Amino acid sequence: MNSNGFSSMEIEYIRKHHRHHLTENQCSSALVKHIKAPPFISRCVVQGNLEIGSLREVDVKSGLPATTSTERLELLDDDEHILSIRIVGGDHRLRNYSSIISVHPEVIDGRLGTLVIESFVVDVPEGNTKDETCYFVEALIKCNLKSLADVSERLALQDRTEPIDRM
């Protein structure tokens, strides 16, 4: 573990897939979540074809920090399991927000699992500090990753398989 609490494997994934170019008035961070289930894909409505530059309208169930968000697809790499989006509209204060999400298979407690890493960069709103802004966005991402883990792990329990043999 390094001083940020990341393992060497996590650091390597972050170094390889989560690069952001920050300007002076932006903050950035990376969060990691180990999910005791394989990843799943939920329904998503996209305007046009699923390609770089396509937009999707998102209605946020919780309503915090927004009820709507418009996202532009910046990167989609099926082979490396990487997705990057930029928020281009919505009723929130996240300006120049972009994130990279990468998904990596792993074994947790002898079963197939998933390491999800999400990193972001965002402008610091006037009247806020970089620390406050990062803390706020990290809290949102942690909540989303926890929800993803809860749903994924519940679904995996319904389709539970035997532990895989360690090599």
Pairing relation of β-strands 111-123 and 26-35? antiparallel
Least confident of 12-21, 98-107, 114-123, 155-164: 155-164
Q: What is the pLDDT of residue 101?
A: 95
Domains plus CATH for the chain? 8-160 (3.30.530.20)
Average pLDDT over residues 30-58: 75
- Residues 94-137 have pLDDT tens digits of 899 999 999 999 998 888 899 999 999 999 999 999 999 999 99
Proportion of the chain above pLDDT 90, given as a percent: 46
For residue 114, give every residue at least 6 positions away whose Cβ sits within 8 Å of its Cβ, in sequence order, or none.
34, 35, 37, 38, 39, 103, 104, 105, 106, 152
**Phi–psi pair at 150, nearest 5 degrees:** -60, -50
Q: What is the pTM of this model?
A: 0.71
